[in-house]
Amino acid sequence: MEKQKSTAVAKTGINFSQTGIVKFKDFNELGSFCESYAKSDAAMKCYQDKPANAIVAVMYGYELGMEPITSLNNIYIINNRPALFAECIHGLVKSSKVCEYVHFKYIGTEYDDDFGVQVTSKRKDDTEPLVSQFTVADAKKANLWGNRDSWVKYPKRLLFARSLSFNLQDNFPDITKGIKTYEVVADYEEVAETKSLNEVMDDTLKKLDDDSIAPESQADIEAEKEERNNNDGPGGFSKKEMDKDLFNNGATE
């Protein structure tokens, strides 16, 4: 039988087998591929002119057993982390050797608090399936329901994505490897840059100064200073009073 031949793209050095699967000999080839992809019209927004993001996505995809182009079409960098679209993580689990089935159904009265999606999945090596659900009540608790544009436009889809994501991550951690779904990560609040302890203390002191009650006039300020000077002895007594007491006490002895 004739051996499979591979052809090479001259400028990039990227190799393709006859099945069309991209193979990289080293990191330089991966980088070259991602640079080309980042310049293409096919690149999603998070990869446009950002080859480093594409490299991260491809490497995550390898961990999940995905080909480079599949990774770049299904992994999205959002809120500073890679996330997988719900339908992709669904496909990864269902096509794995350890999955027996994944079922889902809508529950409750449509758009009431009990309305949601129930997902049931079972591993071949487990005796019992895992059942989980995400409802309108859960979305309200998370401050999602009606507060975000996507939840207003696609409520059923996002209820499904949340329930599916939580179930498969809990039941198939060996397949999902900790990666979250895009639909979940997109709702994360952006984390502000961490401040040092000194910066936090400075901000706190400044806020206390801003919230304090300022003297009404310069005369009040001077009077306050004078009072502090007069009452700077132990117990709040003025130095003049203490000197007088000491003198008197000494005179009577």
- The residue out of 133, 158, 185 marking a domain boundary is 185
Does 2 reside within a domain? Answer: no
Do 121 and 159 lie in a common domain? Answer: yes
Task: Using alpha carbons, list the distances in angstroms from residue 70 to 42, 66, 86, 92.
Answer: 12, 6, 14, 12
Report the pLDDT value the prediction gives residue 12, as an integer from 0 to 100: 47
Report the pLDDT value the prediction gives residue 118, as an integer from 0 to 100: 98
Do 69 and 99 lie in a common domain? Answer: no
Report the pLDDT value the prediction gives residue 61, as an integer from 0 to 100: 94
Domain count of the fold of the chain: 3
Does 202 reside within a domain? Answer: yes
Do 107 and 179 lie in a common domain? Answer: yes
Report the pLDDT value the prediction gives residue 33, as an integer from 0 to 100: 94
The neighbour count for residue 48, using CB atoms within 10 Å, is: 16
From first to last of the 253 residues of the chain, give the pLDDT tens digit. Answer: 445 444 444 444 555 444 456 778 899 999 999 999 999 999 999 999 999 999 999 999 999 999 999 999 999 999 889 999 999 999 999 999 999 999 999 999 999 999 999 999 999 999 999 999 999 999 999 999 998 899 999 999 999 999 999 999 999 999 999 999 999 999 986 544 445 556 655 666 665 665 554 545 566 656 666 665 665 555 555 555 555 554 455 444 4
Do 73 and 96 lie in a common domain? Answer: no
The model scores a pTM over 0.75: no
Report the pLDDT value the prediction gives residue 224, as an integer from 0 to 100: 64
Question: Residue 234: which domain range?
Answer: 197-252
The neighbour count for residue 244, using CB atoms within 10 Å, is: 12
Dihedral sign (CA 180, 185, 186, 191): negative
Do 111 and 158 lie in a common domain? Answer: yes
Report the pLDDT value the prediction gives residue 189, as an integer from 0 to 100: 67
Report the pLDDT value the prediction gives residue 23, as an integer from 0 to 100: 79
- The residue out of 185, 208, 226 marking a domain boundary is 185
Tell me which DSSP letter residue 60 carries.
H
Do 112 and 66 lie in a common domain? Answer: no
Do 73 and 92 lie in a common domain? Answer: no
Does 122 reside within a domain? Answer: yes
Do 140 and 179 lie in a common domain? Answer: yes
- The residue out of 21, 55, 78 marking a domain boundary is 78
- CA angle 105/107/109 to nearest 5° reads 140
- CA angle 63/67/68 to nearest 5° reads 95
Does 216 reside within a domain? Answer: yes
Burial 116-137 (b: 16+ CB within 10 A, else e): bbbbbbbbeeeeebbebbbbbe
Do 97 and 145 lie in a common domain? Answer: yes
Do 67 and 137 lie in a common domain? Answer: no
Report the pLDDT value the prediction gives residue 148, as an integer from 0 to 100: 87
